[in-house]
Amino acid sequence: MVLNTMGKIAVKCSECGTYSILDIDLFKLKSSKSFHCKCGHKILNANVTKGELVLNIDCIACEKQHVYRFKFLRVMKQEINIISCPTIGMEIAFLGKDYHVNDFVKKYMDDMFELLESLGVIGLGNVSRVKLK
Ligand SMILES: [Zn+2]
Ligand SMILES: [Zn+2]
């Protein structure tokens, strides 16, 4: 069986609130790697040690850093892992297979836009939707 070690992680930036969708290759994370948002803010640090993927995520909900550990095999098998803030419970990141991560982010984006629209915060005319493949 060939295991796919490529995954994606979507992390919501604690500075500007946008989701960044990052490619991660588990086999290339033997040394830790930092990921940055488009705005320049560091949103994630990832590395693999002792068969576990260790993620340091800058939390948008409580503005602290959280450490998450996932079993290597689980990351490769699980379709999607929802990562939420342990303090507030809000979803801050999604980790998983390519298409699932994209779907999740799209769903959450849509929900967010609908909510903001219904609250009258934004009008339909000035919404710039983020296009996902
Ligand atoms: Zn940002
Ligand atoms: Zn948090």
Question: In this predicted model, what pLDDT tens digit does every residue of 19-52 receive, in sequence order?
Answer: 899 999 888 888 999 999 999 999 999 999 988 9
Q: Which ligand is nearest to the CA of 93?
A: 2
Give 18's contacts (C-beta < 8 A, 6+ positions apart): 12, 37, 38, 39, 130
Residues lining ligand 1 (ion), CB within 5 A? 13, 15-16, 37, 39, 41
**91-96 and 52-58 beta bridge pairing:** unpaired
Owner of token pair 């991560």: 101
Task: Give the span between the Cα atoms of 116 and 4, in whole angstroms.
Answer: 38
Count other Cβ atoms within 10 Å, centred on residue 83: 20
Radius of gyration of the chain (CA): 15
Task: Give the span between the Cα atoms of 79 and 129, in whole angstroms.
Answer: 25
Q: Quote the ligand 2 centre to 126 CA distance (angstroms).
A: 30
Q: Quote the ligand 1 centre to 12 CA distance (angstroms).
A: 8
Residues lining ligand 2 (ion), CB within 5 A? 59, 61-62, 85, 87
Share in percent of the chain as helix, strand, coil (round to 5): 25, 40, 35
pTM of the model: 0.78
Q: Quote the ligand 1 centre to 42 CA distance (angstroms).
A: 8
Q: Indicate the Cα dihedral angle 94, 98, 102, 103, nearest 10°.
A: -90
Q: Quote the ligand 1 centre to 17 CA distance (angstroms).
A: 6
101-128 per-position pLDDT tens digit = 888 888 887 777 777 777 776 555 544 4
pLDDT of residue 115: 74
